[in-house]
A and B are shown apart, each in its own frame.
Chain A
Amino acid sequence: MLAQCQQLLDRHADLFAEIEESASLAIVPRARVAALCRPVPMIVWVREPEGMAARAGEFGGFKALSSDLLLVTNDGTLEAALERDEPLAEIKRQLRAGGMLFMVLRRKDELREHGWEDFLEWLGMPFVGSCR
């Protein structure tokens, strides 16, 4: 999955162009998400000097997570999305359909400073909600 994630990140490099170095997004299966837990494997999309990279990491609960964003995925949804022709569009669709959930671990101004605005806008996150 790391290789597929890397392909996705390379393909959408424009969306992540403004991300500050070491800012990251963690991806964890929903069954493993808790405030605190024993370390379990996760995927991290992290900004490195050459660009965004997909790396393996360990998730010890969102209280201990240093990432800016956490993408929580239902069983099989990430794998299925990465198989698609347009994986990021499928992630966006899954966010609407409830197959995936974004958790925001920083304030809006911090996310903006870390360069996530384009990505979040592309996903339509500022416009989600039943009042919309």
Chain B
Amino acid sequence: MTELKHLFKPGRLGRYATRNMIKYGACCVSNYNTRDGFITPRELARVRVIAGTGCGIITNQGAYPDPKGEGKSYFRQIALFDDKFLPQFEMIARYIHDAGSVAIQQILHAGRYGGIDLGYCMQPSVVPQTLPHFRPPREMSKDDIRRCIGEHVDAAKRAIKAGFDGVEVTSFMGYLLASFNSRFTNQRTDEYGGSVENRGRFMRELIDGVKQALPEHPLIVRLNGAELMDQWGGNTEDECFELMEQAARAGVDQISVTVGWQEAPESSIGRDVAPGHWNYLAIRAKKTCPGTQIAFGNRLPDPDMADECIGRGEFDVWEVCRPLLADPQLIHKAAEGRLDEVRRCIGSLNCLSRLFRDLPYSCTMNPALGHEVEPEYAITPAAVKKKIMVIGAGPAGMEYAITAAKRGHAVTVYEKHDRIGGNLYAYASRDLARPDDLMSVVRHYEVMAKKLGVEMKFNTEANAKFMRSVLHQYDVCIVASGARIDMEAYAGIEGHERLLDALAVAHGRVPAGMRVVVIGGGKIGLVLAESLRKSGAEVTIVEREKRIAGDVMPTFKWRHTTWVEELGIPVHTSSRLKRVTAEGALIVDAKGKETLLPADSVIAAGPRKANQELFTEFEWMVDELHGCGDALMPRGIDAAIHEGYRLGVRI
């Protein structure tokens, strides 16, 4: 059935046969475990789902190898410095083997980003941090280096003892191995510093130590093809590939090519990076290390693209993580020719936003992630099949609708406009980063509604009169009517009738002029302002708070502030609208200074107000009345999808 013949051909990793050329990469830590490094039932349940993804190779998330926790980079990272941790590792290895995959355990000593519970971190040299999140550095002595290599070897032996087939040492993101390799952080003058050969010594000794201890078991290293730190004195790409060559010569079985450090000034995996952007690094790795298996997957989320790359010989193994968090069935759907059903990773980086706040990771697109251990989150057949009406075809309503339909309910969605997507559609179509990512959510709902037989009734406004016309036809009504711009909040402002509604402009229902003032520097105001500016309008943003982007996901704040700067959009913070006239918007700042901003269109992009009126109107007209998403409280796509799902699995 599949046409992805390169992805699904059998392969090998060392002495182990793999059923395909797909590797689940341990790209980040879940933070689901105990503070002292033990694997929890929550983690085991998640890994069981990952084991079932169908990947030929599955890497378990990185464990720190030292008892002090110098290598520990996340609050709830797992540990592998003692046999006391082994029972759960044994279970994970068994899950992976039972699913027919090769089991790899990653060892993650975070080095520069480690010591999360300590007051310091370990580095080859004392080079201060560039991000406030991390700990002040201490220089490793030669004894520290020997001890550290020994701890890596012991952790590797422990992983094999637990039943894993091989191990992976990660030098991704500026972790310990990377900081020895890099000129930026390795300023030593002994045999571990200076030349590329010397800087690579720690890595070679580490590889040698593990290989000598475990000659029969595959060893993988994750190495930067680009650090993105070269402007600050880090390695050039040429140096990165010299180091890769050293690793290959030292006898590693697979090199996983990665991109970027945590503190690099540019993004490597966000939505603004086009899929395939970094492929050139994998191609170069393949040429540099022809005898070593090359795995790659940075910003390469689509199986069809990966299949073509493998077919062209650009790399050997597609390494994928976040797309499998978004949809653990991705590989099976690809194999069965059902790629249109895939819930794509939209690169919102919600997962990493939460990790950098020391929270367990979650996924915008997969509300069940991290809740696999809770039966309440599973989609099970409904005990009583009901007739359900959903008001609103935005993400909350559609997520609810497809979840309820999967459970056997008969679902009808009423939408006042002529398409699926709600305000997400307008947001996605004006997104500067990569509209296709957000639009994939809309397409997913279109496909699934059709496949699951969800009845869609467009151009139908739900109100009391309409409800009377369908009285007693439905058992349940779900209000997922979203939120609107609260135009009433401007009622006391002179000239308020001249204000345009940002959502109406964003949807293209109301045209904006060429000189625009946007009131509100939150995500709606920013996306609209950026897109209008991009289309050639002169745009100014006015924001009440001290800073813009207050309601934007932490990982995306800087993109908006950068776009605003790059597009030359003036921003007036700590300012509010006082009057709207034919000439423009009169604003007043915190010190009382008034400024007239000339404009032909003044657009209100906030505050938002939940469309809650239907709750009152329908209260005595239907058996069960529930709500989800922005109709409860205006937030965003993440809350909309998660609440839609949670309600869907319950009703």
Query: Contact between A132 and B132 (Cβ–Cβ < 8 Å)?
Result: no
Q: CB-CB contacts of B258-277 with A at 8 A, as 1s and 0s? A: 01111111111110000000
User: Interface readout for A84-110 with B: 1 if CB under 8 Å, 0 if not?
Assistant: 000001001101111101111111100
Pair B261/A130 contact, Cβ less than 8 Å: yes
* Chain B nearest Cβ from A52, distance in angstroms: 18
Residue of B nearest to A68 (CB): B132
Interface string of B35-46 (1 = CB under 8 A from A): 000000000000
Q: Is B280 an interface residue (CB 8 A)?
A: no
B581 close to chain A: CB less than 8 A: no
Asked whether A105 lies within 8 Å of B561 as measured between CB atoms, the reply is: no
> Which residues from chain A contact B2 at a C-beta distance below 8 Å?
none
Q: Is the Cβ of B352 less than 8 Å from the Cβ of A132?
A: yes
Distance of B82 from chain A, by nearest CB (Å): 28
Query: Is A81 among interface residues, defined by CB-CB distance under 8 A?
Result: no
- The residues of B that contact A70 with a CB separation of less than 8 Å are 128
* B132 x A120 contact (CB < 8 A): yes
Q: How far is the CB of B529 from chain A (nearest CB, A)?
A: 17
Q: How far is the CB of B70 from the nearest CB of chain A, in Å?
A: 16
Known: A93-B565, A96-B266, A98-B232. A132 touches B558 (CB 8 A): yes
Contact A127 B557 (CB under 8 A): yes
Closest 10 CB pairs of A and B: A98-B231, A130-B260, A103-B128, A130-B264, A130-B268, A124-B558, A127-B558, A108-B132, A132-B555, A104-B129
A121 to B557, CA, bound (A): 10
Q: Which residues of A contact B264 (CB under 8 A)?
A: 129-130
- A97 and B561 contact, Cβ closer than 8 Å, known pairs A70-B128, A107-B119: no
Closest Cβ–Cβ distance, residue A57 to chain B (whole Å): 17
Chain A residues, CB < 8 A from B269? 130-131
B145-186 CB contact bits vs A (8 Å, 1 = yes)? 000000000000000000000000000010000000000000
B135, CB-defined interface residue at 8 Å: yes
A131 B265 Cβ-Cβ under 8 A: no
Kindly state whether residue A125 has any CB partner on chain B within 8 Å.
yes
Known: A35-B187, A131-B352, A132-B555. A125 touches B132 (CB 8 A): yes
By the criterion CB–CB under 8 Å, are A111 and B125 in contact? no
Question: Given known contacts A95-B265, A131-B349, is B133 in contact with A126 (CB within 8 Å)?
Answer: yes
A107 pairs with B128, CB closer than 8 A:
no
Is there an interface contact between B128 and A132, defined as CB atoms closer than 8 Å?
no
Known contacts A35-B187, A101-B232; A129/B262 CB under 8 A? yes
Q: How far is the CA of A97 from the CA of B230 in the complex (A)?
A: 11
A-chain residues with CB within 8 Å of residue B125 when the two chains form the complex: 35
- CB neighbours of A130 from chain B (8 A): 173, 228, 259-262, 264, 266-269
| Residues in A63-96 with C-beta less than 8 Å from chain B | 63, 70, 89, 92-93, 95-96
> B-side interface residues toward A, CB under 8 Å?
119, 125-136, 173, 187, 228, 231-233, 259-270, 349, 352, 356, 546-547, 554-558, 561-562, 565
Which of these, B126, B129, B558, contacts A63 with CB under 8 Å?
B126
**Cβ distance A13 to chain B, nearest Cβ, rounded Å:** 12
Q: Check B262 against A131 for contact (C-beta < 8 Å).
A: yes
Asked if A62 and B136 sit within 8 Å, CB to CB, the answer is no
Chain B residue numbers with a CB within 8 Å of A107 are 119, 132, 135-136
Chain B residues, Cβ within 8 Å of A62: 126, 128
Query: Which residues of B are found within 8 Å of A132, using beta-carbon distances?
Result: 267, 270, 349, 352, 554-556, 558
A92 neighbours in B (Cβ, 8 Å) = 565
Q: State whether A104 touches B187 (Cβ < 8 A).
A: no
Beta-carbon contact of B267 and A104 below 8 Å: no
Known: A128-B558, A132-B558. 20 other contacts (CB 8 A): A30-B233, A35-B127, A62-B126, A89-B565, A95-B265, A103-B127, A104-B134, A107-B135, A120-B132, A124-B562, A126-B132, A126-B133, A127-B554, A128-B130, A130-B173, A130-B260, A131-B267, A131-B352, A131-B356, A132-B267
Q: A89-B565, A129-B262, A130-B269 are in contact. Are A105 and B136 (CB under 8 A)?
A: yes
Residues of B within 8 A of A102 (CB): 130
The distance in angstroms between the C-alpha atoms of A92 and B135, with both chains bound, is 23
- Cα distance, A59 to B617, chains bound together (Å): 70
Among A35, A95, A101, A127, the one with the most B-chain Cβ atoms within 10 Å of its Cβ is A127
Q: Inside 8 A of B270's CB, which chain A residues have their CB?
A: 132
Measured CB to CB, the closest approach of chain B to A7, in angstroms, equals 19
Once the chains are docked, how many angstroms separate the CA of A107 from the CA of B119? 8
The distance in angstroms between the C-alpha atoms of A128 and B216, with both chains bound, is 41
Contact B129 A103 (CB under 8 A): yes
Beta-carbon contact of B128 and A105 below 8 Å: yes
The residue that B265 contacts in the complex, of A35, A96, A106, with Cβ under 8 A, is A96
State in angstroms the CA–CA spacing of A34 and B262 once bound together: 22
| C-alpha spacing A124/B263, complex, angstroms | 12
* Complexed CA–CA distance, A126 and B131 (Å): 7
Q: Could you tell me if A121 and B547 are in contact, using CB atoms closer than 8 angstroms?
A: yes
Query: How far, in whole Å, are A11 and B349 apart by their CA atoms in the complex?
Result: 35
